[in-house]
Structure 1
Amino acid sequence: MTTKKFKATQQGIVSALFVLLFAGFAAFLPGFAQIDNLLTLVQNVAFLGILGLGMAVVVIGRGIDISMIAALAVPSGLLLQLVQNGHSLGSAFPIALGLALAFGLVNGWLIAYAEVPSLFTTLASGLFLAGLGQAYFFQLEVVQWPAALDPAAWLGRGTLAGVPTPVVMFGVAAAAMAFFLRRMRAGAFVYAIGDNPFAARATGLPTRPMVLLQYVLAALIGLFAGVVMAASVSSMPTRIFNSTMIYDVVLVVVLGGIGLSGGRGGVFNVVIGTLLIGTMLNGMTIMDLSYSVQNIVKGVVLLAAILIDSMLNPRNEETAQQGDI
């Protein structure tokens, strides 16, 4: 008789940690387990989860995109600004969509064809897009939601069967991304390229177009998250790209168990990572920890997650050749 050897996975560790943290907060933090607080918790991290889906497809393909907050703020802010200035939704949305699409194409081309490392590409492109928005697109740093956009306000306001609409939008985006990664040939290509780009290229897979697609998807997901956020809070604070939100997105993905070496993970990892981060942030807020202390905690957790990823997903000769991150 043979016995199966238990093998720890980061996904299993994070899932157990989430259960323990949630149970601990529910038992010892007054007000944490109340329905209103839990709905607020999931609503507040829904935008983070949507962005995490965009980051996930890039990291699975062995890259990283730190320009996603600019992709969230600028195209959606431009949409609001154009409608404020008298343009119809029918004319403003294609312009915002075109900006997000062009942004993703430029990122993808520089990384896939010019072979500029993704970290430096997205750092530079994010700064460029944010500066472009501040210099030429926006009249104020906070662009208010115009009444002419109210037909689309349902994307971020209200509830569906008692669930806040942003959470529903996260669920829709997660289902779409799961279908792409697990049911479409392009999704299988992303995993193959992330697992071993040299072998994928040798077998004839369209590696460069697929890398291009990953960054286009990330930019479009950023636009979607931005519209949902703007509808939820009735404005787009365009200076959000100066916040630490991109680190939260990376934390969701890495802590959730998507290996930085590529080719591993999926939508469930993003969901569990989002829930864990949401629980942690909500608990620290109830405990009245300062923003600076919260950043210290998040930094320590991110370092621990990267260490666990390195231990559970050690890099072999192929994965060590990772010039794109």
Structure 2
Amino acid sequence: MGRALSVLRADQERIVLVIAAILFLAAAIFLPGFLEPSNLIAIVRSISVLGVLAAGMAIVIIGRGIDLSAVAVMAMSVAWYLQMLGDGAADWVALCYAAAAVLAIGLINGFLVAYADVPAIFVTLASGSFVFGFVRSQVITQDAIAVPARHWIERLGRLQIEGIPGEVFIFFGIACIAFIFLRYTKWGRYVYYAGDNPITARNTGIPVRPMLVLRYVISALTAFVAGLLTASSLLSINTRVVNSTLLYDIILVVVIGGIGLSGGKGSMRNVIVGALLIGIMLNVMTILDIPNIYQNLIKSTILLIAIIIDGLMNPRDEQTAQQGDI
């Protein structure tokens, strides 16, 4: 059993990539309209948004944490930004205000987890609920906020390079930056050390708490970027997405891609292959007109299986269980 799990862990990226390729090929053969340019563009856009969100989530999870506020930050920050534009605010002023609010949320999440020792799952769940409730009740006037005509976000949505939507390049750019950060910078290596064993990391002089705050700031900022990409493709942002299953899709991308929930393991390659598989799967279910309730059942089943396999391959040590980080 242990040998089989070791082989599965080593080949998980390859297995997920092969499954994604098989699913794409089967859909191309058996699903009318799957290869239509508009549908392929929709796929790569959804993969890009999922990938950007998952990149931020992956950095948090590799460091032995979780961010359940990501979707709320994504939707509500961009909704507030567009609301300010609609109210006549200057673009750069509105963008700075929204970015500052996102930065503040990331700092608050990180501070409460790192310095107040509140478990991340509770901090980010509460902050996500607060952000959604406060912005929707006090700041914006409706659920869906449209992008102003001829705004740069609208131009971003139309941007294509050699027929490939600009969102794809932004996603891969963020993935490359995150890869370089994790692999080649001192603070990126600290993420792995702290995720593998935070007590030992702290005892060796690694600034575990400031680095933990940094992870939540990165997650919040990537969520803001994902919200801008969503608005560019839909020409609006709908705050009801906070109550959707998008958050679970992000976690599914991370886990099925091969990033261990116990921390200290994974890379941006896992995010890319996970986003490919889940993006294609969601598109196929949409084309097949599978009701949302059954889509959610399928996704939750896959997530549960992925978490069980992850628990077998990356067993939680006693320290992780006591700390309650995830």
TM-score by length of structure 2 reads 0.93
Match for 2:51 among 49, 52, 59?
49
1:150/1:177 Cα in 2 relative to 1: closer, same or farther (>3 Å)? Answer: same
Counterpart Cα distance in 1 of 2:139 and 2:96: 15
1:320/1:136 Cα in 2 relative to 1: closer, same or farther (>3 Å)? Answer: closer
Residues 1:71 and 2:73 aligned together: yes
Find the counterpart in structure 2 of residue 3 from structure 1. Answer: none
Counterpart Cα distance in 1 of 2:264 and 2:212: 13
Residues 1:8 and 2:37 aligned together: no
Find the counterpart in structure 2 of residue 20 from structure 1. Answer: 22
Checking the alignment, whether the CA contact within 8 Å between 1:157 and 1:166 is kept in structure 2 is: no
Find the counterpart in structure 1 of residue 62 from structure 2. Answer: 60
1:298/1:200 Cα in 2 relative to 1: closer, same or farther (>3 Å)? Answer: same
Give me the identity figure in percent: 46
Instruction: Kindly provide the amino acid, as one letter, of the partner of residue 308 in structure 1.
Output: I
Find the counterpart in structure 1 of residue 253 from structure 2. Answer: 252
Counterpart Cα distance in 1 of 2:260 and 2:114: 20
RMSD: 1.8
Structure 1 residues 122-161: aligned runs within 5 Å? 122-147=124-149, 150-161=151-162
Residues 1:278 and 2:268 aligned together: no
Counterpart Cα distance in 2 of 1:64 and 1:72: 16
Structure 1 residues 1-325: aligned runs within 5 Å? 7-9=7-9, 10-147=12-149, 150-325=151-326
Instruction: Kindly provide the amino acid, as one letter, of the partner of residue 221 in structure 1.
Output: T
Instruction: Kindly provide the amino acid, as one letter, of the partner of residue 8 in structure 1.
Output: L
Once the two structures are superposed, residues 215-266 of structure 1 have per-residue CA deviations (whole angstroms, 9 ceiling, x without a partner) of 0111111111111211221111122211111011111111111000001111
SS in 1 for 2:266: coil
Counterpart Cα distance in 2 of 1:286 and 1:200: 48
1:237/1:305 Cα in 2 relative to 1: closer, same or farther (>3 Å)? Answer: same
Counterpart Cα distance in 2 of 1:51 and 1:125: 17
Checking the alignment, whether the CA contact within 8 Å between 2:195 and 2:262 is kept in structure 1 is: yes
More helix by share: 2
Structure 1: unaligned runs, 5 residues or longer: 1-5
Checking the alignment, whether the CA contact within 8 Å between 1:21 and 1:279 is kept in structure 2 is: yes
Matched pairs, number: 320
Checking the alignment, whether the CA contact within 8 Å between 2:45 and 2:233 is kept in structure 1 is: no
Instruction: Return the offset for 1:22.
Output: 2.5
Checking the alignment, whether the CA contact within 8 Å between 1:155 and 1:169 is kept in structure 2 is: no
Instruction: Return the offset for 1:34.
Output: 4.4
Counterpart Cα distance in 1 of 2:248 and 2:303: 9
SS in 2 for 1:44: helix
Counterpart Cα distance in 2 of 1:268 and 1:19: 16
Instruction: Return the offset for 1:320.
Output: 4.4
Please, which moves more after superposition, 91-100 or 232-241? 232-241
Instruction: Kindly provide the amino acid, as one letter, of the partner of residue 282 in structure 1.
Output: N
SS in 2 for 1:143: strand
SS in 1 for 2:260: coil
Instruction: Return the offset for 1:43.
Output: 1.4
Once the two structures are superposed, residues 160-185 of structure 1 have per-residue CA deviations (whole angstroms, 9 ceiling, x without a partner) of 22101222221221111112111211
Counterpart Cα distance in 2 of 1:267 and 1:32: 27
Once the two structures are superposed, residues 184-222 of structure 1 have per-residue CA deviations (whole angstroms, 9 ceiling, x without a partner) of 111111011001111101100000001100001111111
Structure 2: unaligned runs, 5 residues or longer: 1-5
